[in-house]
Structure 1
Amino acid sequence: MRVLLSTYGTRGDVEPLVALAVRLRELGVAVRMCAPPDPEFVERLAGQRIELVPVGPAMRSLIGGTAPPSAADLSRYRTELVHAQFEIFPTAAQGCDALVAAGLAQIGARSVAEAAGIHYVYVSYSAVNLPSPHHAPPPRPGWPQPTVADNLARWELDARQVNEQFAETLNGHRASLGLAPVDNVRDHVYTDRPWLAADSALGPWRTIPDLDVTQTGAWTLPDERPLPPELETFLAGGEPPVYVGFGSVRPSPDIVDSAIHVIRAQGHRALVPGGWAELVHDWDDCFAIGEVNQQRLFGRVAVVVHHGGAGTTLAAARAGVPQVVVALPVADNPYWAGQVAELGVGAVPDGPAPTIEALGVAVRTAMAPETRARATALGARTRTDGASVAAHLLVEALG
Structure 2
Amino acid sequence: MRVLLLSYGSRGDVEPMVGLALRLRERDVEAQVCAPPDFTELLEGAGLSLVPLGRSLKEMATEAVTGAAKPRKPLSMSERAAQMIATTYEAVAAVAEGCDAVVATGLVPAAAAARAVADRLGIPYRFVSYFPTYLPSPHHPPLAWPGHPFPADVTDNRVLWERNAELMNELFGEPVNAHRASIGLPPVDDVRAHVFTDRPWLAADPILAPWLRPADLDVAQTGVWIRPDERPLPADLEAFLAAGTPPVFVGFGSMPVRDAEDVARAAVEAVRAQGHRVLLSRGWAGLAPTDEGDDCFAVGEVNQQALFGRVAAVVHHGGAGTTTTAARAGAPQVVVPQMADQPYWAGRVAELGIGAAHEGPSLTAASLSAALATALAPETRARAKGVAEAIRTDGTTVAAELLRGATGG
TM-score by length of 1: 0.93
Aligned to 1:43: 41
Instruction: Give the Cα separation in 1 of the matches to 2:137 and 2:104.
Output: 20
Q: 1:107 aligns with which of 104, 112, 122?
A: 112
Tell me if the contact between 1:251 and 1:352 (Cα under 8 Å) persists in the aligned partners: no
Q: How does 1:1-399 map to 2 (within 5 A)?
A: 1-38=1-38, 41-65=39-63, 66-67=66-67, 72=75, 75-103=78-106, 104=108, 105-140=110-145, 142-147=146-151, 148-253=154-259, 254-274=262-282, 275-279=286-290, 281-328=291-338, 330-399=339-408
Q: In structure 2, give the amino acid aligned to 1:161.
A: L
- How far 1:71 moved relative to its partner? 7.8
Distance 1:307 1:75 in 2: 28
Amino acid aligned to 2:32: R
* Distance in structure 2 (CA, Å) of the matches to 1:250 and 1:52: 23
Task: Name the CA shift for 1:22/1:181 in 2 (closer, same or farther; >3 Å).
Answer: same
> Is contact 2:354–2:380 with CA below 8 Å preserved after alignment?
yes
Larger deviation, residues 383-392 vs 123-132: 383-392
1:92 aligned counterpart, secondary structure = coil
> Which AA in structure 2 matches 1:95?
G
Contact 1:252 1:352 in 2 (8 A): no
State the 1:68 CA deviation. 7.3
Partner SS for 1:107: helix
Separation (CA, whole Å) in 2 of partners of 1:68 and 1:394: 42
Secondary structure, aligned partner of 1:261: helix
CA deviation profile, 1:70-104 (whole Å, cap 9, x unmatched): 98465543321111133333332211111111123
**Quick check: 1:126–1:197 contact (8 Å CA) kept in 2?**
yes
Question: What CA deviation, in whole Å up to 9, does each residue of 1:292-348 have, x standing for no partner?
Answer: 1101110011110001011110010000011001101x2111111111011111111
**Letter of the structure 1 residue corresponding to residue 2 of structure 2:** R
Q: What amino acid sits opposite 1:242 in the alignment?
A: V
Q: TM-score, normalised by structure 2?
A: 0.91
Q: Partners in 2 of 1:71 and 1:219 — Cα distance?
A: 37
Cα distance between partner residues in 2 of 1:130 and 1:3 = 23
Query: 1:197·1:215 contact (CA, 8 Å) conserved in 2?
Result: yes
In 2: Cα distance, 1:308 partner to 1:102 partner: 18
Q: Is the 8 A contact 1:252 1:353 kept in 2?
A: no
Q: CA deviation at 1:219?
A: 0.8
Report the RMSD for the aligned CA atoms in angstroms.
1.9
User: What do residues 358-384 of structure 1 show as CA deviations (whole Å, max 9, x unaligned)?
Assistant: 222211111111111110011101122
Which is worse superposed, 294-303 or 170-179?
170-179
Tell me if the contact between 1:133 and 1:152 (Cα under 8 Å) persists in the aligned partners: yes
Contact 2:280 2:289 in 1 (8 A): no
Contact map agreement 1:4 1:32 (CA 8 A) in 2: yes
Contact 2:33 2:51 in 1 (8 A): yes
- Identical pairs, percent: 55
Displacement of 1:264: 0.7
Give the distance between the partners of 2:45 and 2:240, measured in 1 at CA.
30
Stretches of structure 1 that go unaligned for 5 or more consecutive residues are none
What's the CA shift for 1:11? 1.1
Larger deviation: 23-32 or 68-77? 68-77
Instruction: Using the TM superposition, give the Cα deviation of residue 176 of structure 1 relative to its aligned residue in structure 2, in angstroms.
Output: 3.1
> Structure 1 stretches (4+) deviating beyond 6 angstroms?
68-71
Distance 1:33 1:222, change over 3 A: closer
Change (3 A) 1:300 1:339: same
Equivalent residue letter for 1:277: A
CA distance in structure 1 between the partners assigned to 2:173 and 2:78 by the alignment? 13
CA distance in 2, matches of 1:375, 1:203: 15
Output the amino acid matched with 2:131. Answer: S
SS in 2 for 1:362: helix
Query: In 2, distance between residues paired with 1:163 and 1:111?
Result: 16
On the 8 A contact 1:71/1:143 being kept in 2, the answer is no
